[in-house]
Structure 1
Amino acid sequence: MQVGRPEIRSTDGTTTWNVGVRGLANAPDRLWFEVPEEHAGMLTDAVDPAVVGLLVPAMRAGGPMEVEGAVTDELVHGITHGYQHILEAVIPGTRQIPVEAAESVAATPRASGIGTGFSGGIDSFAVIAEHLVQPVPDALRLTHLSFFNVGAMTGGDRGRRRFRRMHAQLAPAAERLGLPFIPVDSNLDDFFPIGAFVQTHGPRNLGTAFLLQGALGGFIFASTAPYAQVGVRRSHSSARSDAISMPLLETGRFRPVFHGSQYTRAEKTEIVAGVPESTESLHVCTSMTADGRNCSRCSKCLRTQLTLELAGHLDAYGRVFDLDAYRSARDAFIDEVAASRDLHLVELRNFARQVGFALPPSAAGFVRHGLRRTARKTGAVLRGRHRPADTDVAPA
């Protein structure tokens, strides 16, 4: 793969950062990122965003990544001596490759800004709680919120329309929080196979964060995985390894920071309940209603509402959830929580026990008890210690 020098151009109120890309089959010949023109000063003049964002496609293609423009020397070192090792272990079909930069440069001093992604969910609101609302060192205090279009909303025009709609929906919350909210559109998803976002969202978002290092010296990534689940192994999601891999790419100019792995989802939800803005704009749904609210019936909505109820905060969220819809589905969902092996629901079950909420008996528990009872009877029959009733064995 060959990556060209960045070109930055402003037209019609937007500024585009783009580089030429050659050597990838079935991929565009340019990678571009776009921001509103008022944020043009945030864009880097280094090729760092493309090197990180396109690293997985290059590792899948094999062969070196040849970069014409200036790349931060520490970034190349981190990619070569650690980051690729983790990507190779986590993502099938990748292998380590050399990154050959024609112009390797030392990092310039870090800008003072600190950014984070803002989707309105529990993870991102937890970052806001502990890096804006609560006391925090100045070096970690949020100054900017961002919203990236790098594949989460699917690619193409349909995904772009949803990206713009979501940004418009979240913008009033950012304004009330008093922080600028930077939307970054991109065609980065076009360089990845369809459906590859969950497994590669870490490198995609990290590369896009590097784009803004002209104004941001650090970026706080909201973790979705608790430390007990963090590790380097084959996984359907990069979330399991991002907390280990991303800090390897820290440079003198840019520092990725992870937040949230120290908490369970229930603990994060309690923290978020201390942010007044969350009662107006919390968004956890995988879809949305016509008026922009959570559907209140999907698994993520139900999980969040039950957690808020157990923590004593549910009534405050009537503006973002349809609480009547939740209550109509509540009992069936509680039965599911009692029996499920899903890690999120197991965690919620444990939280219910911690707060003294009595769950119904687990259906799975009844099944296991019945299997053990049957096994004991079978063993007794085989050892000649039990005379079976007519219903135990079929007549000869």
Structure 2
Amino acid sequence: MLIIHKPEVLTDKDMGIIRALLEIGDKKDFVWFSVPKQYKDYLTYERGDAFLVGLLLLAMKQGHDIKLHFPISERLYYTLTNYLIKALTIAMPQLTQISIIHNGLESAPIKTIGAVGTGFSAGVDSFCTAYEHLMDECPESLKLTHFTFHNAGSNGDFGGEDARTLFQERLKLVTPFCNEKEMDMIPIDSNISEVLNMDYVPSHTIRNAACILALQKLFRYYYYSSGRQFQHFELSPTIGASYDILTLNMLSTESLTFFSTGSSYSRVEKTKIVANYEPTYRYLNVCTNGDAANCSTCEKCLRTMLTFDVMGKLQLYEKVFDFKKYQDRKTGYIAQVLATLKSEQYSREIHQEMKRYNYKIPAASVMLTPYYLFKFSVKKVLTKLRIIG
């Protein structure tokens, strides 16, 4: 049995903290979320939705039913027990279907100030969401009022001090855009990564939703920037984004509605949108290489720069990318794109843009393609052998 005790709100220096005691057998630990002190009053201790959602995957991984010493939102209980738990066991067969033993269901909405938020990392997905929900065309009640930035796994799957340090460094990079728009940025720290001890990519939607559920007295709507299109929906064991349109609906409550935004666009289409948004020329940050700023050498940096290059927009991003590093790797990366046309959706999208813009593919890239085809084939075989072994 996994037991979660009633949440409590504390103040520690300039931070407001909501925490709950977790018991698994003879082990006890606190799970917590923290926000700047000015947001302390919005931490939702009256219902433990954030802790139920945040610890759901841990219980399913270890095969424990969850016993709650607090009430939860009725809608959330219904959707978890009837839909999401079953869907998660299809996506990740290693998980176990569990029961939730609650201490009361609340159907009345929590009083909220009606804020509208989104997570902002300054990447292509989050900039696309910000652009669409700051424009005049967006209905007034659905326009963004707040940005959030989470330490829930994106800075390091398993948390720890290195992840927390990177979280603070990246926060400094995303804050200037928020200041420019005169909108609050809410950093949300948590030890959920240390407690879960799980890979981030399959679990990121649930982790980040838990952070926002802790602030239900603040948010009425929350936009979660999707990394996948509608037509690529799949209950994938490795990519949580492939079904977050389902997950987010199942994690909404009577008070808070989650939306999966950007799901109607391909990666290239999103890149085109942000390429016409001037602040991205100064603030775009797409890197996944463990650094705060763009490294200009990782897969995401190279993919983004090549897409801009094909569209004739790369020169606009001299403040955020190192063009020399890109030029040194461009030939090889294009060869990788050509070698993965059958296996990678992103590669097919970029190749289609190359044809659309009559982009001249270097002869050296064509000549290198067989090498990468062989390299990726060997890697795929070794991966299968490792799984079987």
Same fold (TM over 0.5): yes
Structure 2 SS opposite 1:268: helix
Contact 2:110/2:216 (<8 A) preserved: no
Aligned to 1:313: 313
Q: Which stretch of the first structure deviates more once superposed, 162-171 or 343-352?
A: 343-352
Aligned to 2:294: 294
Aligned to 1:157: 161
1:363, distance to aligned residue in structure 2 (A)? 5.8
Give the counterpart letter for 1:243 in structure 2. Answer: I
Q: How many residues align?
A: 362
TM-score, length basis structure 2 = 0.88
Contact 1:24/1:61 (<8 A) preserved: no
1:24, distance to aligned residue in structure 2 (A)? 5.9
CA distance in 1, matches of 2:69, 2:210: 17
Q: Please, what is the CA RMSD of the aligned residues? A: 2.1
1:109, distance to aligned residue in structure 2 (A)? 4.6
Aligned to 1:168: 172
Which structure 2 residues correspond to residues 15-54 of structure 1 after superposition, within 5 A? Answer: 15-23=16-24, 29-45=29-45, 46-54=47-55
Q: Which stretch of the first structure deviates more once superposed, 240-249 or 111-120?
A: 240-249
1:34, distance to aligned residue in structure 2 (A)? 0.9
CA distance in 2, matches of 1:331, 1:365: 10
1:96, distance to aligned residue in structure 2 (A)? 1.8
Which structure 2 residues correspond to residues 277-288 of structure 1 after superposition, within 5 A? Answer: 277-287=279-289
1:161, distance to aligned residue in structure 2 (A)? 0.9
Gaps of 5+ in 1: 368-396
CA distance in 1, matches of 2:297, 2:38: 39
Contact 2:286/2:294 (<8 A) preserved: yes
TM-score, length basis structure 1 = 0.86
**Aligned counterpart for 2:195 among listed residues 178, 186, 191:** 191
Give the counterpart letter for 1:48 in structure 2. Answer: D
**Aligned counterpart for 2:269 among listed residues 267, 270, 279:** 267
Deviations 1:113-154 (A, max 9, x none): 111111110011010111114520123211110011112222
Gaps of 5+ in 2: 372-389
CA distance in 2, matches of 1:136, 1:158: 39
Give the counterpart letter for 2:204 in structure 1. Answer: H
Give the counterpart letter for 2:223 in structure 1. Answer: I
Give the counterpart letter for 1:79 in structure 2. Answer: L
Aligned to 1:332: 332
Give the counterpart letter for 1:351 in structure 2. Answer: E
Give the counterpart letter for 2:282 in structure 1. Answer: E
Give the counterpart letter for 1:264 in structure 2. Answer: S
CA distance in 1, matches of 2:246, 2:106: 25
1:77, distance to aligned residue in structure 2 (A)? 0.8
1:274, distance to aligned residue in structure 2 (A)? 2.2
Deviations 1:173-192 (A, max 9, x none): 21112210011111101222
CA distance in 1, matches of 2:369, 2:307: 23
1:265, distance to aligned residue in structure 2 (A)? 0.8
**Aligned counterpart for 2:228 among listed residues 216, 225, 228:** 225
Contact 1:86/1:241 (<8 A) preserved: no
CA distance in 2, matches of 1:217, 1:138: 13
CA distance in 2, matches of 1:93, 1:244: 20
Contact 1:83/1:246 (<8 A) preserved: no
1:168, distance to aligned residue in structure 2 (A)? 1.8
- Residue identity (%): 28
Higher radius of gyration, 1 or 2: 1
1:250, distance to aligned residue in structure 2 (A)? 2.3
